[in-house]
Amino acid sequence: ILDAAKVLSEPMVWDALKRCLQSRELKMESPYSELGLINTTSLMPAVIPLNFKLVLIGSRQVYYLLQEYDEDFKGLFRSLVDFDSDLELSDEHLYSYARLLKSRINEQGYADLEYSAVERMVRFSARLAEQQDVLSARIGEQFDLLAEADFIRKLAEDELISASHIDRALSAKEERTSRVYDKLFEQMLDGTVLLETSDSAIGKVNGLTVMSLGDTSFGSPARITVTVYPGSKGVVDIEREVSLGQAIHSKGVMIITGFLGNRYAQKFPLAVSAHIAMEQSYGYIDGDSASLGELCALISALIQSPVEQSFAITGSVNQYGEVQAIGGVNEKIEGFFRLCAARGLTGKQGVIIPESNRRNLILKPEVVRAVEEGKFAIHCVRHVDQAIELLLNRPAGEQDADGNFPEGTVNGDIIERLRRISKLGEDKKTD
């Protein structure tokens, strides 16, 4: 059994391995002979016949690269076994997981786990898998956590590993790796990074992002702003215009244009110019998880209706206004919660996430506690109308059989505003 990545990292080893498999014999030779260099060896050992089965283990990325770029690979390694990185959270797998932890404890000489600690390890495993009903097969990270929890237990001179030891181990890791985020968080608190968690504002929405540094990810709120004026440029992604917006992010912005035209401009041309920006962001931006927030900010700017700044929002949206799942939902919620908690929880603050991400929620105990006490809220939505009603604190309005929306509703105001802008453009052409 060989690790494919390690074999490939050694010069000339991969080619030598392939020759052995093809000839079914092991020939002792200098690696420098492959480079055309003079070989000074005078005696050559006898060739050794080979009769064995070779198993290569490695990541999917390594497998796909070899499939793509090495013509001999398919013939030499004909069978693939693709192991899942997650396990269903069943009684059988829970029992096997507990036995695995016990085996590791005995092997390393750790103290035994309390029942609450086993529960906490299961919760951590599910969080790695980003799903409530799944266990992660990334065992290495879980063994590392177990080792650090036992070290903390020793320092406290406790007999068993408890849930508090595991929580302290998780906090210690976060503290060691969060220097960059701590700096960013300080800038949010001192006003260098502009983010509001109270009051309301037109065309401004608190989005949610995830930053990854090595093996650590953390969530951070980011302000999304939109300006709207009469014109024919459509929805302009400022990030893309300056080559900071990547393909998937730009796709999300273009979908917003499709949604606006399909829903609101069936009876007149869509003639509007809007600019969308992720403020105080100076790196590359990718992913479509901001598209729901961008659409809500656009609607706010279009009808001049203020957005509640006590909310942060994340979610992908399609051309029919349906809200789609995103990644990193736990980190995003915790990032905004940390900012709200530092400024003081009012009971009005919260986050808006896709309904399809409900099953991914595995939050830190302090966030769960705040939600249970009514100090912080998590709203799950299926459609952009639900998000609009929360952010603008106004009824969105339902479409009737003729395709019209009631007057005084958000959707009704959008159509009226777009119609006026379209008529203004037609009047200018006539002049």
Confidence of residue 238 (pLDDT cuts 50, 70, 90): low
Dihedral of alpha carbons 31, 34, 40, 43, sign: positive
Lowest mean pLDDT among 133-137, 233-237, 379-383, 419-423: 233-237
Distances (CA, A) of 161 to 116, 128, 363: 9, 21, 21
Written as six digits, the tokens of 382 are 């299926």
Can you tell me which residue has the tokens 């990032």? 335
HSE value, Cβ hemisphere, 13 Å, CA-based, for 396: 14
pTM (2 d.p.):
0.83
Domain 86-177 class?
mainly alpha
pLDDT average, residue stretch 293-321 = 93
- Each residue's pLDDT tens digit, 20-72: 888 888 777 666 555 555 555 566 677 788 788 889 888 888 888 888 888 88
Which pairs from 337-342 meet CB under 8 Å and 24+ separation?
Answer: 337/366, 337/367, 337/370, 337/376, 338/185, 339/185, 339/188, 339/189, 339/195, 339/197, 339/221, 340/197, 340/310, 340/376, 341/366, 341/370, 342/185, 342/189
**What is the SS3 assignment for 414?**
helix
Q: Of these residues, 125, 136, 162, 289, which one is catalytic? A: 289
Looking at residue 14, its pLDDT comes to: 86
- Each residue's pLDDT tens digit, 85-100: 888 888 999 999 999 9
Looking at residue 426, its pLDDT comes to: 63
Q: Please say if 310 is a catalytic residue.
A: no
Lowest mean pLDDT among 112-121, 132-141, 396-405: 396-405
3-state class percentages of the chain: helix first, strand second, coil last, to nearest 5: 50, 20, 35
> CA-based diameter of the chain, in Å?
97
pLDDT average, residue stretch 156-179 = 90
The rounded distance, in Å, linking the Cα atoms of 244 and 255 is 18
**What is the SS3 assignment for 55?**
coil
Looking at residue 274, its pLDDT comes to: 86
Angle at 196 between CA 190 and CA 199, to 5 degrees: 135
Written as six digits, the tokens of 23 are 């000839």
* 264 phi-psi bin (left φ>0, alpha ψ -120 to 50, beta other): alpha
The rounded distance, in Å, linking the Cα atoms of 130 and 134 is 8
The rounded distance, in Å, linking the Cα atoms of 25 and 311 is 67
**Domain range 187-426, CATH architecture:** 2-Layer Sandwich (3.30)
Dihedral of alpha carbons 244, 249, 253, 255, sign: positive
The rounded distance, in Å, linking the Cα atoms of 271 and 423 is 9
**Domain-wise residue ranges, the chain:** 2-76, 86-177, 187-426
The rounded distance, in Å, linking the Cα atoms of 148 and 172 is 9
Looking at residue 241, its pLDDT comes to: 62
Can you tell me which residue has the tokens 């650590």? 216
**What is the C-alpha radius of gyration for the chain, rounded to an integer number of angstroms?**
29
Q: Please say if 429 is a catalytic residue.
A: no
The rounded mean pLDDT for the chain is: 87
Question: In 3D, which of 262, 295, 299, 274 has the Cα closest to residue 399?
Answer: 262
* Beta strand ranges found along 198-318 (DSSP E): 200-201, 204-213, 216-230, 234-237, 272-278, 307-308, 311-313, 316-317
Looking at residue 31, its pLDDT comes to: 61
- Each residue's pLDDT tens digit, 372-393: 999 999 999 999 999 999 999 9
**What is the SS3 assignment for 222?**
strand
Containing 56, the helix (H) or strand (E) segment is: strand 56-57
Q: Of these residues, 162, 300, 332, 375, which one is catalytic? A: 332
- Each residue's pLDDT tens digit, 189-210: 998 989 999 899 999 999 999 8
Identity of the residue numbered 189? L
